[in-house]
Structure 1
């Protein structure tokens, strides 16, 4: 065993501790949002596993929102066919999971945009690592074991040791704990179980690191955590969000909706309901981008104030005109719906407020600057 050497030349806006499914998904979404990060994973490679995971309808809907659901199902079909030839391979199917035909038969907003998907843990992790490879801003360091971290007013310094016994100190503005249920990151930062950030607010916890949900639903809670934490961190690093976004992260964590039907709603914090538009194939979920989205279903609404105020705040905002979609509008119930980058509603209204100050108040409240 060689001596431990120190190396302090690693710097990144965010370091993600743990390269399992939730850690890789967090890194991928950060990459989509334009935020560089380093993923530190203790294992040298993704190990083969016979454990299966079921991503529920909400998780697969999130994959669709991220533009990766079709690629994921294609890879699952191909790799599961190979693995099924192994006599040690065992996978269970969900007989109660609705098919895509069933999802589209009733267009009332109560179904998810995608059916659930069962696959092996190995396939899921391989796929998400492959997605990270498509983002040049995401660096993956296999063989890096997390040792400790220290928080300060300007950020975090995390210490790792690699498989050659060389020590690395990574300086970052934020650290995401996505390690397993041993939750060493959470324990080192002094956060209690079911707490989602450190007292100083520089460490955010996702997935099993929080140990906040039942075993069967942890992967689905982890998917929610990944997209929820990512947009908040991006907003802070891109200087349009306040620190309140981190302190409110735990308070606003949305529990997975499961694989059944759910009552459609556009109340703040709710997921945007899946409604198929008049072309017969586009979902309201497909209207959402990686940035904030303002859905306007009124031809008369002048949304210029929203766009100009968002520009002033350096808040990335996509305007979607959804006119003459009367069925979708009847389910949404409002002419204007402001959607966060994780696909959940931030605000809704029937008309654009009359003054720019009121519009500014809405956007600042959504990004953590409200009282």
Structure 2
């Protein structure tokens, strides 16, 4: 993983962690670009075929500020290696006094009951351990043992291609980047290279031929990948940090939780997809935030079991949408590989100059038209949980969905739009509370009519921060309603232009959004039905 996308970053912002993460020593700096280059070879004889230009964090910040219309994320994405990201998160976990961390234990199985789960482990010295809890969450990757023990099937399978990954350091390569610094480089026919830190750390991904039987030499893999269609390019490798074989998959769990709702899945345990589009780890971050607040609500007592059952109802259709988009990106590379095969002689310089120019123009046209894979704002930001049983609908029609763009809306179920307030620096996201937030665009009246909501929340021990905004006409226009109830995951649960007239009405709304009640006319979305529920 090398991209924490804009959705993950704005969630980290709400948690107060975004700036700390960006400040990590091996995270890429704010002025580094997100460009991808397509070349015949990374070597000195290589030729640039085409590129995808994506602005730096600093440039994206400026764009977000200029286009303060609700269509932008609260934060740009961040280039950073998974190794750095996970190490940083682990440090945060260890530092928390209210968490118990056990690293080096191996999960061996669990027994599920109506009121909880007992899991068994082998600890670091080989002793058997058991842990009893109210819930068990399997975040244990694509080959999840928790999922297998829970009997949850994976739908889909692996792509019939394998890659060899080599994560390495090379000062010489860093000094000889003939096409300048980049994020991804795609030499013709030999996989791809990631510049992990704008310094000297890179990751090579090389497709392994089916007929390859001899042992794999990690350095040879790097040389072949760098050389592209012009033959291997040998540079000095200072250190091989990690190397492994991997196979991309398209698969999703049949359900995200067991019948009792005591065992749940998140991240790669629930879904697997190729790196194309950057939806894997980032979807896992959204899963974790979404599931985390639900578990907190249920354990604190104000949330009903319906919240946990709604987790899969919300997240699974969105992941299917991401898988479909990732599949499209994969097919674009398959088509490009086919084009390379047709013009191979021209790419290696064995045809006339006219044929070479024609081949280069054909390749460039396809790559440019295909466009970058990591600017799908519809997939990243326009996550819609509008037909979730824990969303209170208002009967308004949905806005048109576009894979490339996010159209701001506070229609219940939608991600709440980011917008800067009148001071130009405060995002409305910065006002959200630790759990629920009621955004109130108020007039000058002293009586706001919210006593029923306040009384119902107190009665239910429902944790909500009341944010009153006066004179914020621009934000009010984008947010569409005077009252908007925002969940801990920044999705809208309810909205209206007027407060509930009675405490009973307010309590009914809060019972629905907290999973204690389902509306009688609730029906699952078309996407949800197509997903096999």
Instruction: Please give the range of the TM-score, normalised by the shorter of the 2 chains.
Output: 0.7 to 0.9
User: 1:307-318, aligned counterparts within 5 Å?
Assistant: 307-318=454-465
Aligned match for 2:108, one of 120, 133, 147: 147
CA distance in structure 1 between the aligned counterparts of 2:429 and 2:34, rounded to whole angstroms: 28
Q: Alpha carbons of 1:197 and 1:81: their partners in 2 closer, same or farther (altered >3 Å)?
A: closer
- Displacement after TM superposition at 1:53 (Å): 2.0
* CA–CA separation in structure 1 for the residues paired with 2:274 and 2:430: 30
Counterpart of 1:292 in structure 2 is 436
> After TM superposition, which residue ranges in structure 1, 4 or more long, deviate above 6 angstroms?
none
Decide which of 168, 188, 208 is 2:149's aligned counterpart: 188
Q: What do residues 208-230 of structure 1 show as CA deviations (whole Å, max 9, x unaligned)?
A: 00015554311111011001001
For 2:501, which of 342, 354, 360 is the aligned residue?
Answer: 354
Please tell me whether the aligned partners of residues 21 and 88 of structure 2 are also in contact (alpha carbons under 8 angstroms).
yes
Spell out the pairing of 1:36-115 with structure 2 (5 A cutoff): 52-75=1-24, 78-80=25-27, 95-97=53-55, 99-115=60-76
2:413 is aligned, of 245, 260, 269, to: 269
The alpha carbon displacement at 1:269 in A equals 1.5
- Partner Cα distance (2:142, 2:35) in 1: 26
Cα distance, 1:79 vs structure 2: 2.5
Q: Distance in 2 between matches of 1:81 and 1:181?
A: 27
1:125 aligns with 2:73: no
Equivalent runs, 1:149-298 vs 2, <5 Å: 149-193=110-154, 194=253, 195-211=255-271, 213-215=273-275, 216-253=278-315, 254-255=318-319, 257-258=379-380, 261-298=405-442
Corresponding residue number in structure 2 for 1:39: none
Question: Structure 1 residues 190 and 287, CA, compared in 2 at 3 Å: closer, same or farther?
Answer: same
User: Secondary structure at 1:370's aligned position in 2?
Assistant: coil
Write out per-residue CA displacement over residues 153-205 of structure 1, whole angstroms, 9 at most, x where no aligned residue.
Answer: 12000001012001110000001110011011111111222221112210111
Deviations 1:11-62 (A, max 9, x none): xxxxxxxxxxxxxxxxxxxxxxxxxxxxxxxxxxxxxxxxx42111111111
Match of 2:512 in 1: 365
Deviations along 1:246-279, whole A, 9 cap, x unmatched?
1111011145733864110111121110100011
Relative to structure 1, the CA distance from residue 292 to residue 173 in structure 2 (aligned partners, 3 Å threshold; closer, same or farther) is same
The worse-fitting range, judged by mean Cα deviation, of 152-161 and 251-260 is: 251-260
Q: CA RMSD in A?
A: 2.0
> Residue 142 of structure 2 contacts residue 272 of structure 2 at CA under 8 Å; is this kept in 1?
no
1:250 is paired with a residue whose SS is helix
Structure number with the bigger relative contact order (C-alpha 8 A, sep ≥ 6) is: 1
Residues 118, 132 of structure 2: 8 Å contact kept:
yes
TM-score by length of structure 2 reads: 0.56
1:328 corresponds, among 459, 468, 475, to: 475
Retained in 2: the 8 A contact 1:231–1:342?
Answer: yes
Query: Do 2:294 and 2:307's aligned partners in 1 also have CA atoms closer than 8 Å?
Result: yes
Task: Please give the TM-score of this superposition, normalised by the length of structure 1.
Answer: 0.80
- Bigger Cα Rg: 2
Deviations 1:117-173 (A, max 9, x none): 111111100111122234211121111001000111120000010120011100000
Counterpart of 1:40 in structure 2 is none
